[in-house]
Structure 1
Amino acid sequence: MLIKQFVSDSSVHRLLFLYVIAWLLLDVAGGDIWLASKIYAMEGYQWSLQQHWLTESILHRGARQLNYVCCAVVLIATVVANFKRAKYKQLADSLLALSLALLSAFVLVAYLKAITNIACPWDLAVFGGTEPYIHLLQKRPSYLPYKQCFPAGHASVGYAWVALYYFLKQVKPGWRFAGLATGLISGLVLGIAQQLRGAHFLSHDITTLLLSLLCAKFCFMLISETPTTKESTYL
């Protein structure tokens, strides 16, 4: 019943429609290559920011470590709230849904990275590597080394937190768009950092955003459904 409700949700349809449009523009029409070419040229026809202290040490490794801390805080708060469930039932449910949303987004993105066999921009001959460019739905030749660059794993460190929109919609509705902005801005910054390093195309990041939104929506539907209002039907 829940699966049927999720699949038939109009906001899910809108997200999928927008994703298909983005995919057609970026992968099929060549937007990914065009944008990456501009970035590559801007860096002097090399990925000069690949090991830069800002993109590598702070926005890559540092952001990942900060995410571990934030996730630990959410998990601890979830355990504490559920121990006091009789007193804080709604908060306990909302925190549990948030924890599941974050975990499912990270796991799903990591799983897809492991099985899709898609190369990074820095692997491609057009950007100083050795491999041909292969579209997302094209079959990758077996003689090429196995790659794990799709969808964007590091961007999920930011985009997974779009789940704060659903969490705050339940516990502090007036702050829900601040929660959404937190996830979107974090994912955008980390995604751009990886594009500057040559690690991902824009379509990789947009796929991660879609997966994060769908995971968040499903987990909050699973744990604690809130009344639908005109204003909240967009997500």
Structure 2
Amino acid sequence: MQPSPVTPSIAPITPHAPSQRHTLLFWTLGALACVVAWDAAGQDLAFAQVFGSSNGFPMRDQWFFVQVLHEGARRLGWQLVLLLALSVWWPRGFLRKLDASERLQMAVSALLSLAVVSITKNLSATSCPWDLAQFGGVARHVSHWALGVLDGGSGRCFPAGHASAGFAFLGGYFALRHKLPSAARWWLAGALLAGFVLGAAQQVRGAHFMSHTLWTGWLCWVTGWLCDLAATALRPRFPHFASTTTPPDSSHA
């Protein structure tokens, strides 16, 4: 009698507890309220004037801000996206404790977050601070909520694209939080820190207003949450992709 083939164990698919959903909704709406409050206070221009004047922004071409915090961080962000994509099939470290669908969720949520910010930015008529007349440019300051109103500049500056190199990884928190809650919290803290540091660097250079960075963070968070909801709904349809079997570590072969 031939033994029956061994099938991979499948993690039980359970819906998110109502308390978890309520907590996420609370933080999401709370963050939205804070971002809207900043917009309503109209502090973007005043905050930008801390770093710039009618002569422009002195740190615009400063080597560290340009080569490290802009170009270097952008390349590092794309390298991390590539590593997440490769980890779907060849995971390393703590990612080996996730199933393939959760690793795919991390990669997809990052890519979708980048896409959401990029598409929104390309549709925006809002110009960057360094384009404004107050800072030596030609554009006038117009709220990004004045849809369809041109400010006389080049536009395509809202929300902050560069900050998404950090915030895009917020979605990883949702994929990690069920099996690796401690790693999820560290991942969340790292993505938030990276996003705000990169956003602040662009603020100092005159490339973005603070509201641009805040909206990027919120959009990436919501995109990550929506990816998590979609992944939870789709996993029962692809049980073999949600196998809890950990692939062997080839480095110890």
TM-score w.r.t. length of structure 1: 0.81
- Amino acid of the residue matched to residue 106 of structure 1? L
Please tell me the root mean square deviation across aligned C-alpha atoms, in Å. 2.5
Quote the Cα distance in structure 1 between the aligned partners of 2:171 and 2:150.
Answer: 38
Deviation per residue, 1:19-41 (Å, 9 max, x gap):
2442233x332211111111225
Residues 114/173 of structure 1: CA separation in 2 closer, same or farther (3 Å cut): same
CA distance in 2 between partners of 1:115 and 1:13 (Å):
29
Report runs of 4+ in structure 1 exceeding 6 Å deviation. none
Which residue identity does 1:24 align to in structure 2?
A
- Name 1:5's counterpart in structure 2: none
Distance in 2 separating the partners of 1:205 and 1:99: 22
| Residue equivalent to 2:124 | 116
- One-letter code aligned to 2:59: L
CA contact (8 A) 1:195 1:202 kept: yes
2:25 equivalent in structure 1: 12
What is the distance in 2 between the residues matched to 1:75 and 1:199? Answer: 30
Q: Deviations over 1:79-131 (max 9, x none)?
A: 346xxxxxx89521111111111011000000000112111011111122111
| Matching of residues 48-63 of structure 1 within 5 Å | 48-63=58-73
SS in 2 for 1:47: coil
Residue of structure 1 equivalent to 2:7: none
Conserved 8 A contact 2:61-2:205: yes
**Counterpart code for 1:18:** A
State the percentage of identical aligned residues. 29
Distance 1:222 1:175, change over 3 A: same
Report how far residue 78 of structure 1 moved: 1.0
Whether 1:190 and 2:198 are equivalent positions in the alignment is yes
Structure 2 residues not aligned, in runs of 5+: 1-20, 236-253
Equivalent residue number for residue 47 of structure 2: 35
Q: Residues 145 and 34 from structure 1, CA distance in 2 versus in 1: closer, same or farther, beyond 3 angstroms?
A: closer
Change (3 A) 1:158 1:34: same
Q: What SS does structure 2 have at the residue aligned with 1:224?
A: helix
Question: C-alpha separation between the residues in 2 aligned to 1:14 and 1:221?
Answer: 16
* Greater Rg over alpha carbons, structure: 2
Matches of 2:220 and 2:159, distance apart in 1:
11
* Alignment CA distance shift 1:73-1:142 (3 Å): closer
User: Residue 126 in 1 paired to residue 171 in 2?
Assistant: no
Choose which of 102, 113, 127 in structure 2 pairs with 1:105: 113
Question: Which residue matches 2:37?
Answer: 24
**1:148-181: per-residue Cα shift (whole Å, max 9, x none)?**
1000000000011122322321342222211111
Aligned to 2:16: none
Tell me the equivalent position of 1:214: 222
1:140 is displaced (CA, Å) by: 4.8
Decide whether aligned partners of structure 1 residues 213 and 95 sit closer, same or farther in structure 2, where only a CA change above 3 A counts.
same
- Give how far 1:141 is off: 4.2
Q: Residues 78 and 92 of structure 1 are in contact (CA less than 8 Å); yes or no, is this contact kept in structure 2?
A: yes
Structure 1 residue identity aligned to 2:73 = A
For 1:61 and 1:19, the matched residues in 2 are separated by 29
2:35 alignment partner AA: A
Which structure has the highest helix share of the two?
A: 1
